[in-house]
Amino acid sequence: MFSFHSIEEYHRFLDANPDGCQVAVRHYLSRIEENKSLNAFLEVFAAEALERAKWLDEKRRSGGARGKLHGVVVALKDVLSYKHHRLSAGSRILENFTAIYDATVVEKLLAEEAILIGRNNCDEFAMGSTNENSAYGNVLNALDPSRVPGGSSGGSAVAVQAGLCMVSLGSDTGGSVRQPADFCGILGLKPSYGRISRYGLVAYASSFDQIGIFGTNTPDIALVLEVIAGADDYDSTAAAHPPPLPRPEELEAGKGHKFRIAFFKDALTHPSLDPVIAAQFETYFERLRADGHTVEGVDFEYLDYIVPTYYVLTTAEASSNLSRFDGVKYGYRTPDTGEDLTSFYKKTRSEGFGAEVKRRILLGTFVLSAGYYEAYFTKAQQVRKILVDRTSLLFNDFDIIILPTAPTTAFPIGEKKNDPIAMYLADIYTVYANLTGIPGISIPLFRHSNGMPFGVQAMTNRFKELSLLQFSHLMMQQYKSYENPTLCD
């Protein structure tokens, strides 16, 4: 019986098993089949994955050099372009669209010999926090199928949570990797803006979007990050010379480190925060202090501005990005072509987009409109700049900022579906990292009295993934009191 604990251990298993990649792929294919009701996959690349596993096994037998992700079984959020494969972004408007090129991250995964097992369900155009906005049905949380898995990368989170792949990629514009990781009891990293090329990622809000990684342990996350990060001629926002990423031995070295940690006082006393989570954070801070780290509450007067700022700026960017879906060049086209071009566009877009996407296009168009541009869009840009400046000052005195990842644990499906404001407000702790471009990770440390997991969100200064992953590694080894029962052998 195959079981997965880490890529390193899997690679040792492959040393001793000439058919190891095929064994792993068969294992995951049968687990995906058994867990179909979770709706985590929109498509499984079964035949192709098996064929690739066979090729990798043969390559190993013939003594060929191995890629860094040799045989690692990876799932992709359905917003990443994989040549000759469907790409729907969870939307009807792209239902029959086939990708014509590989995203840079896909190219890099393949070059290091990963096996891509399928594409994951997600909220339409990555807009949402529960996966209820997918045109292809909810994804269910494997720990409690009556609850949401989080979103928008819910399918990718559940794929790792339920042991349907080893690691997966998602995208995080305002928390879409960290929040579902939190709801599912796994690790979810959003790297610094500019760490990973966005080429081939379906754009939601381009100055916020970043590809992120789900996994079960820090070394796996660090390894995948090392593979997919880097400059790219096709994305000028991917940093040309970023500071280096951690090497495996550097993760261990972090264990002797005493971190200077800040938290926002208002965040921990915020009325939306579940009291059980708040109390656990108090205990956690005490333990960190007892272990020699410094933990200080700081005043951060902008907390209540970050969600409105995020929703003004991201909807503005989305309204522009999504204007390309017009039924002319590709994607869904209304059968009723009407009398003129304008009514053709209107019909195509009304029929092709779901309610949340329409809401955001309308909001974004409004905040960019001539009469309101200064009051909303310009103002929000100014707030973003203040946040960036304040954040870089904070990092003069601290290594890490800690916040909860989400104000509650995973909630029942349907609870917030018809209340967009409540849904947006729940992004209070995650959108900050996207507004400022800093990296953040959700670390699954605790279990709530309701049985569901919840994590700690750690953030560092921009491009300080080294210290972020060292901290994460330390937490996973010494502070984790939650064991995920769905990560079964």
Site residues (vs ligand GLN, CB under 6 A): 126-129, 152, 171-176, 204, 314, 427
Buried b (16+ CB within 10 A) or exposed e, 37-69: ebbbbbebbbebbbebbeebbebbeeeeebbbb
Beta carbon of residue 183, minimum distance to ligand GLN (angstroms, whole number): 12
Beta carbon of residue 456, minimum distance to ligand GLN (angstroms, whole number): 19
Q: What CA–CA distance (Å, rounded) separates 96 from 207? A: 28
Token readout for 331 is: 């994607």
Instruction: Decide whether 79 or 140 has the Cβ nearer to ligand GLN.
Output: 79
Residue nearest to ligand GLN (CB): 176
Q: Which of 88, 176, 192, 319 is catalytic?
A: 176
Residue ranges of the alpha helices (H) in 62-194?
Answer: 104-111, 154-161, 178-184
Token readout for 182 is: 């939190």
Contact 472, 441 (CB under 8 A): yes
319 is catalytic: no
Contact 86, 119 (CB under 8 A): yes
Which stretches of 124-250 are assigned E, i.e. beta strand? 167-172, 187-190, 210-215
Three-state secondary structure of 101-128: CCCHHHHHHHHCCCEEEEEECCCHHHCC
Beta carbon of residue 80, minimum distance to ligand GLN (angstroms, whole number): 13
Q: Which residue has the tokens 């899997």?
A: 10
Instruction: Decide whether 14 or 221 has the Cβ nearer to ligand GLN.
Output: 221
Instruction: Decide whether 129 or 461 has the Cβ nearer to ligand GLN.
Output: 129
152 is catalytic: yes
Q: Which of 77, 190, 416, 464 is catalytic?
A: 77
Q: How many CA atoms lie within 13 A of 390 on its CB side?
A: 18
Instruction: Decide whether 152 or 161 has the Cβ nearer to ligand GLN.
Output: 152
Contact 20, 57 (CB under 8 A): yes
| Order of strands across the sheet that contains 294-298 | 41-44, 115-120, 73-77, 167-172, 210-215, 187-190, 440-447, 453-459, 400-404, 260-264, 294-298
Q: What CA–CA distance (Å, rounded) separates 190 from 211? A: 7
Whether the bond into 152 is cis, omega within 30 of 0: yes
Instruction: Decide whether 129 or 197 has the Cβ nearer to ligand GLN.
Output: 129
Q: Which of 91, 134, 152, 153 is catalytic?
A: 152
Instruction: Decide whether 183 or 471 has the Cβ nearer to ligand GLN.
Output: 183
Q: Which of 218, 121, 431 is nearest to 305 (CA)?
A: 431
Beta carbon of residue 63, minimum distance to ligand GLN (angstroms, whole number): 43
Beta carbon of residue 167, minimum distance to ligand GLN (angstroms, whole number): 19
Instruction: Decide whether 126 or 401 has the Cβ nearer to ligand GLN.
Output: 126
Beta carbon of residue 315, minimum distance to ligand GLN (angstroms, whole number): 9
Name the 3-class secondary structure at 315: helix
176 is catalytic: yes
Beta carbon of residue 382, minimum distance to ligand GLN (angstroms, whole number): 21
Beta bridge partners of 40: none
Q: What CA–CA distance (Å, rounded) separates 300 from 333? A: 48
Contact 4, 23 (CB under 8 A): no
Instruction: Decide whether 315 or 486 has the Cβ nearer to ligand GLN.
Output: 315
Beta carbon of residue 461, minimum distance to ligand GLN (angstroms, whole number): 21
Catalytic residue IDs: 77, 152, 176
